[in-house]
Amino acid sequence: MRSVMLAGTGSDVGKSILATGLCRIFLQDGYHPAPFKAQNMALNSYATPDGLEIGRAQAVQAEAAGIPCHTDMNPLLLKPNSDHTSQVVLNGKPIGNKSAYEYWRNDPSLREEVHAAYDRLAAKYNPIVMEGAGSVSELNLRDHDLVNLPMARYADAAVILVADIDRGGVFASCYGSIKLQTPEDQQRIKGIIINKFRGDLRLFDEGRKMLEEICGVPVLGVVPYFKDIYIDEEDSVALEKKPLPSNGAAGSISIAVVLLRHISNFTDFNTLERDPRVNLFYTNNVSDLSRADIIILPGTKATLDDLMELRRNGCAQTIQRAHRDGKMVIGICGGYQMLGQTVSDPYGIEGAIPSLPGLGLLPIHTTMTPEKTTRQVTFKFNGHECQGYEIHQGISDTSEAILQTDHCIGTYIHGFLDNAPVIEHILKGAMKGEEVKNEKVKSEKGKELSPAEFKEVQYNKLADHVRRYVDIPRLYELLES
């Protein structure tokens, strides 16, 4: 079959989730699919089995496709350092920082690299489920675009345009996205999927016909918004949908994740969010932090800059006071570094701040170094074997993967809080009032599910949802023509 590309009328229209659903559908139907996104911009990343770095979305899509993730699925990853610069990760390894202007005036070698990655992937898998980035109609970037229609052209992929009806303007965004393409690229767009519909689908029957008439391509599906399917997201826009501070259920444990300006890998907290004993929220408000039973400092792309901001806005002092009062404080990756005695950057890896004192809760000193650690890890916690992965700049002067002192835990391991023994340990000392029963996630047959099994259930639920509302037989016809 031909490859298929899900391109968007804009950012956060649901391309990644739909690509995940198609990867699982193709796997269920006996094919051997693989995901591909030539260029991704995200702070949520993942370590491949061979210790390299890719965007989190492609790792999730690979899971849905039933295959190990690989850098060929996301050869270019941009990790923003600020509003103007990003770390460029090529084939899983950092190659330096570039300004947006420098990057978009890229040299031909980057295009050659993403083409080579696609070719290697397409030699092993079929079909390739490709994902575009942002809007397909950014005319000022067209000559330098590596990920949208130029990539579809190279792969001879059928393009499906994805539009978010929830934000409004779906007719204009679909029509404009198609008509602003060259005649050749307009012919490549084979269908439209309307995503995030709310309400009675029958109300859009007439709109569907009108959209097909003005755009000249079929609407393959109108997909309703869902809340009961849990798929990891990498886009920082997802943070806007996260829970706000509240009192929570009676007896629930209040967990505050410190909302850093450069927060990364916030998927670390998805499992805790779903725990019925927990009221988890994101905040940088000192009053909200002071009311929490547990405070978590998450990962960050700019440890020193975020540490400086914590001192400026009063959060650092609030965290230290909470720890003195006996509350649990947890630091993951950059958050772990902040909990130490000092963080130094003698090579200017992160910017102009040479060194800062940490919060002083853990006996470590961290030095930023040019080398980056990326690896999957297995570790022991309270006698149980657990799994996670590391992606971090900097080295701390300890050989311990997990450092614990009195009601304080620090670790470089992402996915640390996805492990049941870890969650039980941190919640045990924070229970208050009437104990909330730990309702394990179970299958329909009542079997308790591991985190990996839970993910499989979610991928299958997503596939069922997409099959129900997207004309998959028609999609196959387009890919086989």
Q: Enumerate the active-site residues.
A: 333, 414
Question: Which uninterrupted H or E stretch holds 45?
Answer: strand 45-47
Task: Kindly list the strands in the beta sheet with 278-283, ordered across the sheet, starting from the edge strand earlier in the chain.
Answer: 278-283, 253-258, 294-297, 328-332, 408-411, 402-405
Q: Amino acid identity of 200?
A: D
How far apart are alpha carbons 241 and 244 in whole angstroms? 9
Residues in contact with 75: Cβ distance below 8 Å, sequence separation at least 6, in sequence order: 38, 39, 90, 91, 113, 114, 116, 117
How far apart are alpha carbons 359 and 314 in whole angstroms? 12
How far apart are alpha carbons 34 and 130 in whole angstroms? 8
**Contact assessment for residue 334 and residue 368, using Cβ atoms and an 8 Å cutoff:** no
What are the residue ranges of helices labelled H in 53-95? 56-65
Q: Amino acid identity of 48?
A: T
Q: Under DSSP, is residue 220 helix (H, G, I), strand (E, B) or coil? A: strand
How far apart are alpha carbons 364 and 119 in whole angstroms? 45
The total of other beta-carbon atoms located within 10 Å of residue 52's CB is: 20
Please state, in angstroms and as integers, the Cα–Cα distance from residue 94 to each residue in 38, 91, 388, following that order.
Answer: 16, 8, 21
